[in-house]
Amino acid sequence: MFSRLIKRKIPADYILIDTWFTSVSLLKKLRNISGSTHVFGMYKYNSKIEVKSKIKTLAQLKK
């Protein structure tokens, strides 16, 4: 759906993702389609995410 928006030149500043769908692979795909769009999504408490090419837990990000 997001790639169709970009192809039709409809601007999107932000994308909001539900906890169920938030994953590193989805974030990478969205960023590859449009690097200028901000992506917001909630993670489950025990999730690990990639920040600047490093895998971190949410506890590590709080520090």
| SS3 state of residue 49 | strand
Q: How confident is the model at residue 14 (pLDDT cuts 50, 70, 90)?
A: confident
DSSP H or E stretch at residue 30: helix 24-33
Of 41, 29, 27, 34, the C-alpha closest to 11 is 34
Mean pLDDT, residues 7-26 taken together: 82
Extents of the domains making up the chain = 2-62
Q: Which residues of 10-47 are buried (b: 16+ CB within 10 A; e: fewer)?
A: eeeeebebeeeebeeeebeebeeebeebeeebebeeee
Mean pLDDT over all residues of the chain? Answer: 81
Confidence of residue 51 (pLDDT cuts 50, 70, 90): confident
